[in-house]
Amino acid sequence: MSVKFFSEDAPVPKLKKRILIRWIKNVIVSEGKSVGDISFIFCSDGYLLEMNKKYLDHDYYTDIITFGYVKDNLVQGDIFISVDRVKENAGTYNTSFENEIHRILIHGVLHLLGYMDKSKKDKNIMTTKEDIYLKILTVI
């Protein structure tokens, strides 16, 4: 069981991978699940837009697309992240790229754990979870 980082058409951002992997695994276990194989794939806006069109029939930019392969309690999946969008969002939300990339990483993991963000209520729950888990990261 592993958490890995890959590049599609954008470089993998400079990350403290060991710390992030431990954090991600802790989040999954704290939610009562087991860690399977999770891949984070970093890409450009254009690449993720094409995936959004092809697989989700959405014609707009997004920062993340999560494909979950969760079976029983085993959390597995591929999480595609647009580095371009994360950079733009960091500026929009007046935060650092590092903080925004951490938020989007855990956002993808929360999707694998079954959390959704389509309704206002679900989005509030997810944002609260993100905030809780981001605080844990700062003490790891």
User: Which structural domain, as residue segments, surrounds residue 89?
Assistant: 3-139
Q: Which pLDDT does position 140 carry in this prediction?
A: 62
At residue 5, what are phi and psi to the nearest 5 degrees?
Answer: -120, 130
Taking only the tens place, the pLDDT of each residue in 4-37 is 999 999 999 999 999 999 999 999 999 999 999 9
With 70 as the cut, is the pLDDT of residue 100 above it? yes
Q: Which pLDDT does position 138 carry in this prediction?
A: 75
Task: Give me the CATH number covering residue 129.
Answer: 3.40.390.30
Are residues 3 and 24 in contact, defined by beta-carbon separation less than 8 angstroms?
Answer: yes
Task: Report how far apart, in Å, the C-alpha atoms of 118 and of each of 51, 73, 111, 122, 124 are.
Answer: 19, 23, 11, 7, 10
Q: How far apart are CA 15 and CA 46, in angstroms?
A: 23
Report the number of distinct structural domains present in the chain: 1
Contact partners, residue 6, CB within 8 Å, separation at least 6: 12, 39, 40, 41, 42
* pLDDT tier, 1 (very low <50, low <70, confident <90, very high otherwise): confident
**What percent of the chain has pLDDT above 70?**
99
